Amino acid sequence: MVMSKYTDIIDLADMGSDWWLKVVKLASDIYDDPQKYSKACDGKIMATLFYEPSTRTQMSFQTAMLRLGGTIIGFDNPATSSVAKGENLKDTTKIVSSYADIMVMRHPNDGAAKAAAITADCPIINAGDGGHLHPSQTLTDMLTLYREKGRLTDLTIGLCGDLKNGRTVHSMCKALCGFKGIKFVFISTPELGMPKYIKDILMASSCEFTENPSLEDAIKDLDMLYMTRVQKERFASEEEYNSLKDAYCLDRAKLNKGRQDLIVLHPLPRVDEIPMDVDDDPRAMYFKQAKYGVFVRMALILTVMNDREHSVPLFTGKTYNGVECRNPNCITRKEHYLPRYFRGTADLLECEYCDDRVLC
Ligand code: NCD
């Protein structure tokens, strides 16, 4: 077993539901009285390394640190850093983590945050790794449910759009499946369907899920509808993206089939899946959700900085001679020096960076 040196937030599953609830409740407390926390990170530095575009995640992390009294360094365009000179992920993150007290990273490859955590010299928070996970978004979604529905249990949640490539919905399923009475409805086309490994996790935790390709039909039973963008950057061809990009649109007519106490979330950015005239409906919660993101990230930064003892398992399995992850987007396919760790049995192995399966 290889443990992390710090309280790294790579996958919420590493932390457990008591820990998530503690962060969500702290975030809610900060929302009600932010002044109380305005000096909590006095003298601390947070580095944000964004190898992929971002508005909300990056700026909400930065705002969070500034509102806690700390300062920020980092890049939002790797082309203006030494990455453009060919520097590998290990060297960049090793150096930056020796400058900062906490490091937040977004990267286009699945498993990149875990790869960085192997050698980083400060705690790292995964701000999105390829199509894999997005833990701080899930905590934001939990805070939104906690404040707007008053509970994180007994909810029927519809996930609509690109469930195949959307890291936000993968993270959400992995976290909320542990709560009592959560039922998921997957609303997508077969091409955009939820990966099998996520469905397996839901089945293993006895979390109910159904699939319904019709948004119009599925919306009637939902407590929360989570709309997502078709992830253009994760498609092999523009043609394939174009054939799927308009698969779902929550217009007013469809929303009107939903209950009055429904809430509509979206991690944003939206493209055409929610027309702007839906924004005025009181059930449209996505702008407030984005605002909650700052308070969740304040709570996350504080918890990680004060919880120096809580290391997480990075690798529980082992390396196998000649076995490679077959996911072309896995970080091990790009950063070749990384040790290839797999968990599972000899005929079905799972890559410990990206959770993809290798059948031997
Ligand atoms: C999401 C992301 O980056 O995964 N956005 C966000 O962080 N709020 C969703 C998306 O890009 O579609």
Among the atoms of ligand 1, which is closest to the Cα of residue 229?
Answer: 12
pLDDT computed for residue 121 by the predictor: 96
- Tell me the CB-side half-sphere exposure of residue 186, using CA atoms within 13 A: 25
275 alpha carbon to ligand 1 midpoint, in Å?
Answer: 18
pLDDT computed for residue 360 by the predictor: 55
Which structure tokens are listed for 320?
């196998």
pLDDT digits (tens, 9 = 90+) for 95-114: 999 999 999 999 999 999 99
pLDDT computed for residue 357 by the predictor: 81
Q: Name residue 345's beta-bridge partners.
A: 348
pLDDT digits (tens, 9 = 90+) for 230-243: 999 999 899 999 99
Nearest residue by C-alpha to atom 11 in ligand 1: 269
Residue 111 dihedral angles phi and psi, to the nearest 5°: 90, 5
Pocket of ligand 1, candidates 48, 106, 134: which has the most ligand atoms within 8 Å of its Cβ, to mutate? 134
328 touches 95 (CB < 8 A): no
d(CA 244, CA 166): 14
Pocket of ligand 1, candidates 168, 192, 273, 285: which has the most ligand atoms within 8 Å of its Cβ, to mutate? 168
153 touches 176 (CB < 8 A): no
Residues lower than pLDDT 70 in the chain:
359-360
- Any atom of ligand 1 within 6 Å of the Cβ of 131: no
**DSSP secondary structure letters along 134-149:** -HHHHHHHHHHHHHHT
Among the atoms of ligand 1, which is closest to the Cα of residue 267?
Answer: 8
Among the atoms of ligand 1, which is closest to the Cα of residue 52?
Answer: 3
49 alpha carbon to ligand 1 midpoint, in Å?
Answer: 16
The secondary structure of residue 104, as a DSSP letter, is E
**What domains lie within the chain, and their CATH numbers?**
2-133+293-306 (3.40.50.1370), 135-291 (3.40.50.1370), 322-360 (no CATH)
pLDDT computed for residue 307 by the predictor: 83
d(CA 14, CA 313): 7
Among the atoms of ligand 1, which is closest to the Cα of residue 168?
Answer: 4
Q: Name residue 105's beta-bridge partners.
A: 49, 126
319 alpha carbon to ligand 1 midpoint, in Å?
Answer: 32
Instruction: Taking each helix axis as running N to C, give the angle between helix 167-176 and helix 135-148, from 0 to 180 degrees, rounded to the nearest 10.
Output: 60
d(CA 316, CA 310): 16
Angstrom distances, CA of residue 170 to CA of 122, 186, 327: 26, 12, 16
pLDDT computed for residue 338 by the predictor: 98
- Any atom of ligand 1 within 6 Å of the Cβ of 167: yes
126 alpha carbon to ligand 1 midpoint, in Å?
Answer: 13
- Any atom of ligand 1 within 6 Å of the Cβ of 171: no
3-state SS, residue 224: strand
- Any atom of ligand 1 within 6 Å of the Cβ of 108: no
Q: Collect all residues with Cβ–Cβ distance below 8 Å to 273 and sequence separation of at least 6.
A: 160, 161, 227, 228, 229, 230, 248, 249, 250, 266
Q: Which helix (H) or strand (E) holds 31?
A: helix 17-32
Which structure tokens are listed for 300?
């996350």
- Any atom of ligand 1 within 6 Å of the Cβ of 266: no
d(CA 71, CA 73): 7
